[in-house]
Amino acid sequence: MSVQDVAVLSPRARRRRRIRRRLLRRPLAVAGLVVALVFVVVAIFAPVIAPYDPGRSDFSAPLAGPSAEHLFGTDELGRDIFSRVVWGARASIQAGVLSTLLAMAFAVPIGLVAGYYRGWLDPVVARMTDVMLAFPFLILAVGLAAVLGPSLTNATIALAFAAVPVLIRVTRGETLALREEDYVRAAVANGASDTTILARHILPNMAGTLIVQATVWIPTAIIGEALLSFLGLGVQPPTPSWGVMLSAAQPFIDQAPRLVIFPGLAIFLATLSFNLLGDGLRDVLDPRTQT
Amino acid sequence: MALLEVSDLSVRFVTDDGPVQAVDRVSWTLDERQVLAIVGESGCGKSVTAMSILRLLPGTATVSGTARFDGRDLIAAREGELRAVRGRAISFVFQEPMTSLNPALTIGRQIGEVLRRHLGMSGAQARDRTIELLDLVGIPAPARRVGEYPHQLSGGMRQRVMIAMALACDPKVLIADEPTTALDVTIQAGILDLLRDVRERLGTAIVLITHDLGVVADIADRFVVMYAGRKVEEAPVHELFAHPQHPYTVGLLAAIPRPANGDGGGRRRLQEIPGIVPSLPEPPRACTFAPRCPRADDRSRSEEPSLREVRPDHLVACFHPGEEPWPEGWRP
């Protein structure tokens, strides 16, 4: 891009360019971004990418090894493992992304209001999140999923609920810090209403933090979904999910370790990629680390 | 005619270390087109006085007294009424231009937000008016600057943006709290020229809060000198500089650096005022300046001096007013 091109870009576009350049200078973050995007694409286009129906059994070849026909081999019922891993990405990405979005939709307004208005609401919210945080994340999710009943939707809700206290705490903390900023004071002096201050002056300035939080929560929720499905509290067989596959493969670990390896590898790669991306974004978006 | 009339304004803070009387029964009036300078060291209650008028202080502050503006008392007004005054009829410019602009929004959006809120302008109208305002405050290439973020502007430019935002709705009163303190000396002069220009062209009355008498001497019409939350002296600018009466004012004037002039004045040692401004839990029944004052006597330490007119239109709260300079090397 020539010098002239840079000069005519709008400031917003220039800022985006700067962030992009800073991100692209980190190889691990780029690797994370690429792999995470691959998983998202695979999840969206699973029906196109998977060579077989994930539920179709080929009884002539159960527990077959990898071949040109079946890339990752087949499982105990003769189903194509590659197709099942591809379809499993759907459940995982859906649980990861949707539960994070759902949790944000709940936690961000509560954190904003509690942190901005303080009053009696703030200590109540803070103590309630403390109580919820006293339970380990997965225990909370497992308990909720057990109450709600096993299904992917309920697993997503349970994971979202378990993420809410952490996100409330982050949002509230950021709000407490940002409300003391000079520009918030200046906005009050200019007659801004509370809604304007929250929506235009406080929320945009914590966007970076929230984006980083989201990318850190998605892999946690992916592991959570795998765990719930493994325990039979999430996706139900025969619907493919990495957790379901791991669970079903247990009796066959000796004969066909690939039944565990491929879904395990998928979980590993998906969570690692989102975590690397999150770390990279934190370095780039957090103003405190900016040089 | 009095535009803004502050009377008997007191502000108390409840802090972890007990109560603090930040402002103690301060009164002054601001006339139309007037530039009123409120001066004093840091911690004298200048900013607190100004902020209490628009009730911008945190909840730990208790404000009493009145601030009459446009027929109503702002101290007693409801929050909704105040919101309509803030940024519309009375605007504020803060000390820190580097942090007083929202880093996530373009300056055009920030100024536009004020216009849309108070004047109900559309997005396009607000944009045009914003460019006009940026031009008015002397920002070059305003049509391009309008889309820039605060971090792309220098400190002086940001202060101009803050002033543009404060002037957006053509306010009657502009309160500027140390508007030049955070800036380089050369930039300071530009900002002061701009404020003078604003008064000339728009007729805006200005309350200028500063600790630097020298800087505002040629822009202000009238001075209010504050010490430890009290008004200790008030006079028109020429009167105050020619005949300062309160020992604190005399001390402040002696602390202004002045280049030696050719008429044999020669080099002069800068005078300091020994000691610091006290933070008072209760207003004492004495002169608050007594511990630092070379003229203090038993009466200063046991009785509160009230304001009296010692010369025409010149108020001072001191038992021993006078222009004599501070004794060389005096220590309390």
pLDDT of residue B1: 65
Task: Name the A residues in 12-51 with CB < 8 Å from any B CB.
Answer: 12, 15
Tokens found for residue A124: 């109540």
* Non-local CB neighbours of B287 within 8 Å, separated by 6+ positions: B293, B296, B300, B301, B303, B304, B305, B317, B318, B319
Instruction: Record the pTM.
Output: 0.80
Question: Is B115:B168 a contact under the CB 8 Å cutoff?
Answer: yes
A205: distance to nearest CA of chain B, Å? 6
B146: distance to nearest CA of chain A, Å? 10
B77 interaction partners in chain A (CB closer than 8 Å): none
Separation of alpha carbons A137 and A163, rounded Å: 7
Phi then psi dihedrals of residue B206, to 5 deg:
-125, 130
pLDDT of residue B129: 92
Q: Suggest the residue from B47, B83, B102, B146 to mutate for an interface test with chain A (most A CBs closer than 10 A).
A: B102
pLDDT of residue B322: 85
Give yes or no for A119 touching B (CB within 8 A).
no
pLDDT of residue A104: 94
- Given CA atoms B57, B60, B61, B62 in this order, what sign does their dihedral have? positive
B3: distance to nearest CA of chain A, Å? 19
pLDDT of residue B8: 93
In this predicted structure, the answer to whether residue B262 has a pLDDT above a threshold of 70 is no
pLDDT of residue A169: 93
Q: Spell out the per-residue pLDDT of chain A, length 291, in tens.
A: 444 444 455 666 766 777 788 778 888 889 999 999 999 999 999 888 878 887 777 777 777 777 777 778 777 777 888 889 999 998 889 899 999 999 999 999 999 999 999 889 999 999 999 998 898 888 888 898 989 988 889 999 999 998 999 999 999 999 999 998 889 989 999 888 899 999 999 998 898 889 888 888 999 999 999 999 899 888 887 888 898 888 888 888 888 888 888 999 999 999 999 999 988 888 887 655 544
Q: Tell me: the pLDDT tens digits for A149-188?
A: 888 899 999 999 989 999 999 999 999 999 988 899 899 9
Give yes or no for A191 touching B (CB within 8 A).
yes
Q: Tell me: the pLDDT tens digits for B4-14?
A: 999 999 999 98
Q: Tell me: the pLDDT tens digits for B94-127?
A: 888 888 898 888 899 999 999 999 999 888 899 9
pLDDT of residue A1: 43
Question: Is A159:A222 a contact under the CB 8 Å cutoff?
Answer: no
Question: Is B164:B133 a contact under the CB 8 Å cutoff?
Answer: yes
Phi then psi dihedrals of residue B238, to 5 deg:
-65, -40
In this predicted structure, the answer to whether residue B295 has a pLDDT above a threshold of 70 is yes
Contact A193 B83 (CB under 8 A): yes
B86 interaction partners in chain A (CB closer than 8 Å): 188-191
